[in-house]
């Protein structure tokens, strides 16, 4: 059986990853063997920390699944799309005479959900998607495919600290609205006529408490008692549609 080719955005090996960092490449994620204390990997860890890059320390079997080559304890994914600062996106919207609409994904880990939500964000006129640097879906070819190419058109901003990013958006005058099953207000009553950051939580656990605490308002979607919950990409599409009318 012919082996499936590795993604072009994947690189491995200490020297290759170090060269990419020094060349100013943008990284989607870096995986480093968590039990190795060798000097070369320790130096690479320091370089990653200095450049504030997204890193995960993982066991050897994780690295072996990611790469068939001699990875030397490090595998990385280069970014398929550029990272855009959220203040730049908001400023650009205001300068165009538009109220910024930002979709914030607080821990969406499924690639298909992430892609579908990005597609809906583009469809309903949102200016950008914000995701945490860690704890979110990897933006690779499958995510772009799931978005039907939308990820190549809508800006994505990766946040090192999502709470601070939400606070910054509030500082720009955006109203932070959370979509959660715990809300007492119905999404039918959600009327948006101002700059907004719409926040959706993890597929299983929902919004993190820190994000929930920063919400100016929360809304829920009423569904039949025969169903426990909606898929987050469906809930997000409903919320974004409601925010656009």
Pairing of strands 101-106, 10-12: unpaired
Cα distance between residue 148 and residue 115, in whole Å: 8
Mean pLDDT, residues 105-132 taken together: 95
Cα distance between residue 124 and residue 122, in whole Å: 6
Domains annotated on the chain, with CATH: 10-78 (3.30.1330.30), 86-244 (3.40.1280.10)
Inform me whether the pLDDT recorded for 140 exceeds 70. yes
Task: Give the least confident one: 33-37, 44-48, 68-72.
Answer: 33-37
Cα distance between residue 3 and residue 37, in whole Å: 32
State the distance between the two ends of the chain, measured CA to CA, in whole angstroms.
52
Cα distance between residue 245 and residue 145, in whole Å: 28
CB-based contact 127:89 (threshold 8 Å): yes
Query: pLDDT tier at 1 (50, 70, 90 boundaries)?
Result: very low
Inform me whether the pLDDT recorded for 159 exceeds 50. yes
Query: pLDDT tier at 7 (50, 70, 90 boundaries)?
Result: low
Interval 65-81: pLDDT, tens: 888 888 988 999 888 88
Q: What is the pLDDT of residue 97?
A: 96
Inform me whether the pLDDT recorded for 5 exceeds 60. no
Q: Is 0.85 surpassed by the pTM of this model?
A: no
Q: Which residue has the tokens 């994780």?
A: 62
Classify each residue of 48-66 as buried b or exposed e, where b means 16 or more C-beta atoms within 10 Å of its C-beta: beeeebbbeebeeeebeeb
Nearest to 63 by CA among 27, 26, 40, 30: 30
DSSP helix, strand, coil percent of the chain (3-state; round to 5): 40, 20, 40
DSSP summary character for residue 3: P
Q: In Å, how far from its chain's centre is CA 32?
A: 21
Inform me whether the pLDDT recorded for 4 exceeds 50. no
96 three-class SS: coil
Inform me whether the pLDDT recorded for 233 exceeds 80. yes
- Helices (H) and strands (E) counted in the chain, each on its own, are 9, 10
Tokens of 59: 């066991």
Nearest to 204 by CA among 119, 107, 123: 107
Nearest to 110 by CA among 204, 11, 223: 204
């Amino acid at each position: 059986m012919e082996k499936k080719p590795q993604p072009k955005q994947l690189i491995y090996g200490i020297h290759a990853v170090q060269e990419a960092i020094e060349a100013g490449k943008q990284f989607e994620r870096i995986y480093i063997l968590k039990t190795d204390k060798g000097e070369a990997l320790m130096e690479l860890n320091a370089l990653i920390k200095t450049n504030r890059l997204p890193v995960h320390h993982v066991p050897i079997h994780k690295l072996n699944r990611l790469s068939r080559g001699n990875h030397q304890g490090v595998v990385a994914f280069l970014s398929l799309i550029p990272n855009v600062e959220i203040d730049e996106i908001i400023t650009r919207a205001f300068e165009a005479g538009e109220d910024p609409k930002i979709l914030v994904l607080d821990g969406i880990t499924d690639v298909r959900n992430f892609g579908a939500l990005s597609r809906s964000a583009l469809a309903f006129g949102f200016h950008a998607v914000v995701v945490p640097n860690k704890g979110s879906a990897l933006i690779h070819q499958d995510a772009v495919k799931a978005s039907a190419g939308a990820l190549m058109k809508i800006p994505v901003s990766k946040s090192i600290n999502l709470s601070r990013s939400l606070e910054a958006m509030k500082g720009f005058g955006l109203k932070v609205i959370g979509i959660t099953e715990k809300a007492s207000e119905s999404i039918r009553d959600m009327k948006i006529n101002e700059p907004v950051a719409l926040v959706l939580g993890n597929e299983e656990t929902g919004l993190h408490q820190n994000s929930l605490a920063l919400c100016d308002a929360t809304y829920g979607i009423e569904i039949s008692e025969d169903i426990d919950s909606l898929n987050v990409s469906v809930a997000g599409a409903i919320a974004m549609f409601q925010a656009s009318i």
